[in-house]
């Protein structure tokens, strides 16, 4: 058995102002130590949910994502039950850390889970997802 390991939420210093980023996907990075941030590229591994975001330099609460626990993440656009969800475009500041349905447009998208809500989620809703790291999904 391993010792000195943690389960559940973790406290991590915010690398940027995350005070309005609760219920969004987050990343951990090394910036003079372990820091929490919003994703900045579609290739980022978003393995945590920002439960409580705090100002830069303060400790935010992050929940490690696991397929045995559903989470609610802010939706970008409509998402239907059973849809594969991917990261929204982090190039748009307002969309960083949000999820959207896998689009039908050509491109490569980071699959982060399945939408398990009983009805469609609208833009801005907290979408109930089952986090499953599906990796990069190429749509031709």
SS3 94: helix
User: Exposure of 69 by Cβ count < 10 A (0-12 exposed, 13-18 middle, 19+ buried)?
Assistant: exposed
pTM here is 0.91
- Residue 6: predicted pLDDT: 78
- Whether the predicted pLDDT of 128 surpasses 90: yes
Contact indicator for 111, 133 with CB cutoff of 8 Å = yes
- Angle value at C-alpha 126, between 99 and 12, nearest 5 degrees: 75
The stretch 87-115 carries a mean pLDDT of 93
Q: Name the residue among 90, 85, 60, 89 with its Cα closest to residue 72.
A: 85
- Residue 54: predicted pLDDT: 98
Q: Name the residue among 26, 71, 75 with its Cα closest to residue 47.
A: 26
Q: What gap in Å lies between CA 93 and CA 131, rounded to an integer? A: 23
Residue 42 binned pLDDT confidence (cut-offs 50, 70, 90):
confident
Residue 135 binned pLDDT confidence (cut-offs 50, 70, 90):
confident
The stretch 81-107 carries a mean pLDDT of 94
- Residue 3: predicted pLDDT: 79
Which residue matches tokens 């590229």? 41
Which residue matches tokens 């005070």? 19
The stretch 102-129 carries a mean pLDDT of 94
């Amino acid at each position: 058995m391993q010792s000195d390991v943690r389960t559940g939420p973790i406290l991590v210093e915010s690398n940027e102002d995350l005070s309005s980023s609760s219920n969004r996907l987050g990343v951990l990075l090394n910036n003079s130590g372990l820091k929490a941030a919003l994703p900045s590229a579609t290739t980022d591994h978003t393995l945590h949910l920002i439960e409580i975001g705090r100002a830069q330099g303060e400790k935010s609460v992050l929940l490690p994502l696991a397929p045995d626990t559903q989470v609610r993440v802010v939706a970008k656009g409509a998402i239907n039950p059973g849809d594969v969800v991917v990261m929204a475009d982090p190039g748009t500041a307002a969309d960083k850390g949000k999820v959207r349905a896998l689009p039908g447009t050509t491109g490569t998208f980071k699959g982060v889970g399945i939408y398990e809500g009983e009805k469609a989620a609208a833009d801005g809703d907290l979408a109930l997802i089952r986090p499953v790291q599906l990796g990069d999904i190429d749509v031709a």
